[in-house]
Amino acid sequence: MPTFLFDSIVFGPVSSRRLGVSLGINLLPVSRKVCSYNCIYCECGWTPGKPGPKEKLPSRREVYDALKKKLSEMREKGQAPDVITYAGNGEPTLHPAFAGIIDDSLALRDEFFPEARVSVLSNGSMLHRKSVRDALKKADMNMLKLDSAIPGTVIQLNQPHVKVDISRFEDLVKDFDGKFIIQTLFVRGECDGRPVDNTTEVEITAWLEAIARLRPQQVMIYTIHRDTPLGNNLKKVPVSELNAIARRVNGLGIATSVSG
C-alpha cells in the first residue's frame, strides 16, 4: 500500500487524532526518510538502508523563516493551532540544530499563538545526548515511543538502526522528572512470515510494568490509521481492546487517551 513523505518544512495544519489542530514541522529531507528506526507500520514508508544522494537538512534559519511565515498567515486568517508538532519524515531529534530550533519555535509560539503547545514526537533514540534531553524538557509535550518492553518485539516492530537498551531508555527518561508522555502503537499481523502482536498478555504485562516504573504524565494508546509499508499484513487493534488496555493503565493512576 502507498505511504507518503511530507514535502515541505512546515505542513498543515492538520486534524490530529491525539493532538487536535496540529501544525507540523519536518526537520528532515523532503525526498527521503531519515530515521534511527524502521518501524513496520510507519506511514512514511521504509527507512532507506543505505544513504541516498546527499541532501541537506533544512537549516535552523530556514526552519525559523518557514514557521514564522506560516504562523503569520494563520494569525491573519484567524486560524489558531492547538499544537506545533515536530514529526515529519523520520526522527526530528537527529537534526544537529534541534535544541536551537526548539528555542526558536517556543519564541515564535509566544509571539503568535501563546496558547498553542509545542510538541515533539520522538522514538527516544537520541536521549543519550544531553542537548536533546534539555530541549525536550522545554517542550510542552515531550512524546516518547514505547511500543513494547520486550527487546525482541522492539526489534521486530521498530527495526532500529541503533542499539536499543530498554533499561538505558528508562534511566534516561528519569531526567524528565515525569514531564513526558509515552506513546504506544498496538498492532497485530505478520512480518517476514512471522506473527507480530504486541497485545498478548505477556506483552501487555511487561509493558504495564515498564509504565509503572516510568510514571509518565500521560499514556497515548493508538493503532494504525494510514497505509503501512506492509500493507494488509498489518491489522488494526479494535478500539474495545485499546480501551481495555487503557483501563489497566488508569489503574496505575496514570491518565490515558485512546485513538482507534
Q: Which residue has the higher pLDDT, 2 or 112?
A: 112
Give the pLDDT confidence score for residue 48 in this predicted structure: 79
Rounded Cα distance, 169 and 128, in Å? 9
214, three cell numbers = 516510568
Whether 16 and 104 have beta carbons less than 8 Å apart is answered as: no
| Domain that residue 210 falls in | 10-259
Rounded Cα distance, 30 and 44, in Å? 11
For range 9-14, the mean pLDDT: 89
Is pLDDT of 254 > 90? yes
For range 200-209, the mean pLDDT: 98
Q: Is 3 part of a structural domain of the chain?
A: no
- Domain CATH code at residue 86: 3.20.20.70
Give the pLDDT confidence score for residue 3 in this predicted structure: 62
Question: 13-17, 180-184, 239-243: which has the minimum mean pLDDT?
Answer: 13-17
DSSP H or E run through 184:
strand 181-185
Quote the percentage of the chain above a pLDDT of 70: 95
Q: Please report the sign of the dihedral spanned by the C-alpha atoms of residue 191, residue 197, residue 202, residue 208.
A: positive
Question: 26-30, 45-49, 129-133, 143-147: which has the minimum mean pLDDT?
Answer: 45-49
For range 14-40, the mean pLDDT: 87
Question: Which amino acid would we find at residue 220?
Answer: M
How many separate domains does the chain show? 1
Terminal CA-CA length for the chain: 20
Give the pLDDT confidence score for residue 32 in this predicted structure: 85
